[in-house]
Chain A
Amino acid sequence: DGGITQSPKYLFRKEGQNVTLSCEQNLNHDAMYWYRQDPGQGLRLIYYSQIVNDFQKGDIAEGYSVSREKKESFPLTVTSAQKNPTAFYLCASRKGSNYGYTFGSGTRLTVV
């Protein structure tokens, strides 16, 4: 079945370390998105990519980086510059402007 796979489901990071969250889709979708969700809050956009080898900053990009070398993959790196990285991270994809969104099951990142 087609879908979006996010891994790992849970991730623990020590302060000062970079970590990379994986997002893979086999839906042949063009656009991919990374959102951050804090407890009791809505989702905020970190980065998005509408085509391979191109990506744009979202509303809260500071302390994060991404790449889009393949259509299927849109990994998110949480760098040590992100001061408050503990959150739930959701990846989403969309085929085109007139289509809906598919979400992954999320990665819960905790700084220890």
Chain B
Amino acid sequence: AQKITQTQPGMFVQEKEAVTLDCTYDTSDQSYGLFWYKQPSSGEMIFLIYQGSYDEQNATEGRYSLNFQKARKSANLVISASQLGDSAMYFCAMRDIAGNTGKLIFGQGTTLQVKP
């Protein structure tokens, strides 16, 4: 069964420093997609970055980058130059491709707090 594991319930980072949020996944599929979402206290899910299993380059979107290590089945999110507005909950998710449902399988999330 597909599974996403986020082992850091809470993280602190100093403003302007970089932070890495861990994500490991388990799947027997060869084709899959990995997502990171940000959920502020208001509740909406904000898409940050996507990595396809066949993408050779690590995905980057502005201050966000995904450290994709396929052999280790990890897809860590790196946020550079943290800002106070980055304080939120962060979810790693995997798209079910083989089952053809299109559903997202989510991890438990990591709460990030940025200190001034």
Contact = CB atoms under 8 A, between A and B. Distances in A.
Contact of A106 (B44, B47, B109): B44
Interface in A31-49: 31, 33, 35, 40-45, 48
B108 A42 contact: yes
Contacts, number: 56
If over half of B's interface residues share one DSSP class (helix, strand or loop), that class is named, otherwise mixed; here it is: loop
Interface residues of A, number: 25
B101 interface: yes
Interface size classification for chain B = 20 to 34
B43 interface: yes
B103 A48 contact: yes
Contacts of A43: 45, 91, 93, 104, 106
27 contacts: A31-B102, A33-B102, A40-B9, A40-B108, A40-B109, A41-B109, A42-B91, A42-B108, A43-B45, A43-B91, A45-B103, A45-B104, A48-B101, A48-B102, A50-B101, A50-B102, A58-B103, A90-B43, A90-B45, A92-B45, A94-B102, A101-B47, A103-B37, A105-B42, A105-B44, A106-B43, A106-B44
Interface of B: 4, 9, 35, 37, 42-45, 47, 50, 91, 93, 97, 100-104, 106-109
